[in-house]
Amino acid sequence: MSFVPALAGTLRYEAYMAVRRRTLWFAVAPLSLLALVAAWRSPAEIADGVAHVGEAAPFTGVLCTLGIGVALADRVERGLRPGLGELVAAAPCPAGVRLPALLAAPLGVALLPPLLVVLVCAVPAAMADGGPGPLAAAAGAFLLVIVPGAVVLTAFAALMGVLLPVALARVVTAVVWLWSTIASPALMPLPTPTGTLLSPGGGYPAAAWLGARPVWANHELSGVLSPPPGTGSALVNLTVLAALTAAFLLLTGLVAGRRR
């Protein structure tokens, strides 16, 4: 079988299995509903539609990504269990492609609820602005604010899943996510990435490109890791997340390869 059909088949199979997985929906659906309730505003309450979308996106991402990471922490580990490892090794999709594929497909399914939340929040924003600008901003917010954080946490959760017992991996994933996104350095006795270029919360892209208030970026912070929001700092933030994702996937692949 050639590469493209094998990859497409892997993605379809993993997406189908993710749709059927109740654990995923039990983790993501309540948090998505909570995000919608908290972020929803009527048109009369919205002064700037694009900025409203920019402020709803990081909040939605932080809540929903927490559920996604916890739910998918066992995805790679399940493929290493006795009997399944041999089936995975026999799959036509190359091992170097299968690992990203088996995480990307369920992640794509899991990201549908937060996408829906952001789009729904953009509807009253578009009514307030009298144009479709907030709807286009919602698509950008989803891709630049929510997706990068969800990708890096899913990769981290997969690594924890092959290193630790699954229950402990879920706990560590949740603690690290909250520590890196909402734990205020002013309230923590230990350093935290929250509000810096190292945070996966999406604060820098939201403030730089969507006009959101810099609550999730540079808020009450200073130093080289907490520059003011702008295009440069937002690009640095996204680059850091991409590098961390690649590192987590590489380590997961190495650990999984040694366990087979």
Domain assignments of the chain as residue spans, ordered by start: 3-259
What is the tens place of the pLDDT at every residue in 202-249? 999 999 999 998 877 877 777 888 899 999 999 999 999 999 999 999
Please give the DSSP secondary-structure letter assigned to residue 144: I
Residue type, 41: R
Helix (H, G, I), strand (E, B) or coil at 249: helix
Rounded to whole angstroms, the Cα distance separating 216 from 229 reads 10
CA 196 to chain centre: 17
Q: What is the CA radius of gyration of the chain?
A: 19
Greatest alpha-carbon span in the chain: 59
Rounded to whole angstroms, the Cα distance separating 130 from 117 reads 20
What is the tens place of the pLDDT at every residue in 124-169? 999 999 999 999 999 999 999 999 999 999 999 999 999 999 999 9
